[in-house]
Structure 1
Amino acid sequence: MTRKKIAELYARLHALDPEPKGELHYVNPFTLLVAVALSAQATDKGVNKATGPLFQVADTAEKMAALGEEGLTEYIKTIGLYRTKAKNVIALSRKLLAETGGEVPADRDYLETLPGVGRKTANVVLNIAFGQPFIAVDTHIFRVGNRTGLAPGKTPAQVEEVLERVTPPDYKLHAHHWLILHGRYICKARKPDCWRCPIADLCAFKPKTPPPAEGKG
């Protein structure tokens, strides 16, 4: 995709949603970190259902650590891989307490040392909680980057590198959310809604999917 098309793509997504927001619920950087860690291989809706009651009783590293793995499990057992996630969340809570007084640092290298926290999770936290223009490549962004031609790559790291390079500076802060939401609701995995896509004419994907009525015909 040419730089001119890339700029137009972001301009259109910006026009439709100037201030996009993530769909995970949180109350502070710590709860955001926990929510993102819990969201791996799970839906945001499912995570929010579990964390609503959880964050009412444990919204700090100290309170979370006090719950312990068994206590936390009672809140998150509806989420996939909940036992491993409970172990990681308690471990990262204890590590934060020991090393930062429970605060979540705006430091990607440090965040990636926390149990259960990889580059994607760190990027999400830094983007949303601290306003840093990082782009976290999840399955939606990986698909959109490759399917549209915006950021081709064989791995999430390659797609991230391309996006960091080609995304205009004015759009970098919100690029993460625009692309995730686009992939989640329009450029869907099995059958994208090309017929209602605001960037269909810029996209390299072929063949474009027709409207439902045309498809039935």
Structure 2
Amino acid sequence: MTQDELKALVGQAALQYVQPGSVVGVGTGSTVNKFIDALATVKDTIRGAVSSSVASTARLQAHGIPVFDAAEVTSIPVYIDGADEIDAAGNMVKGGGAALTREKIVADLAERFICIADESKLVDVMGRFPLPVEVIPMAAAQVARRFQAAYGGDATLRQGVVTDNGNHILDVRGLQITDPLAMETEVNQWPGVVTVGIFARHKARVCLLGTASGVRTITY
């Protein structure tokens, strides 16, 4: 199957985690777009969704799915989103679509994170995919220098990208993320960092992995 077909497969499989009458947390990206399209087929069974990006909100509303502001919701059963990388413990790198901060906010509302991805995203050690970091613009150069000093990482500004929150994205290359929780905790303390794209505090509880032989379910 093509990568696009694998994304559609896991998007459809994620429907089994959608609880009738609930508000569903919905992430961002091409795989999630397939999930949103699948969710539209059962939209009459749910109350609506909480979205992590302007783009996903627009797609949900185009399907006639009500979208709630995160401030209107105290908790949700599941948050369904993709990943740029996921390791054997369910830790993830996310933010290739520049929505990492809002994704963490919605993930924090959720009882469980369900990751949907194709098998190319499963890695032994994260870091091959550049680590996205959302930063306040005036701190970008300072944070880049700190990544070099602390981790030997090469941080570059993602050109032409402004997040939904009005901030910039640094992409950090050359990392080996052997202790995701420690790195997430450390980097999030640096002045000017809005959030780092390591999801270890809000790691996946289930990963639906699209493979050539079908959907592989990994539970953490």
Larger relative strand fraction: 2
Q: Same fold (TM over 0.5)?
A: no
Question: Of the two, which has the highest radius of gyration?
Answer: 1
Could you state the TM-score of these two structures normalised by the residue count of structure 1?
A: 0.29
Could you state the TM-score of these two structures normalised by the residue count of structure 2?
A: 0.29
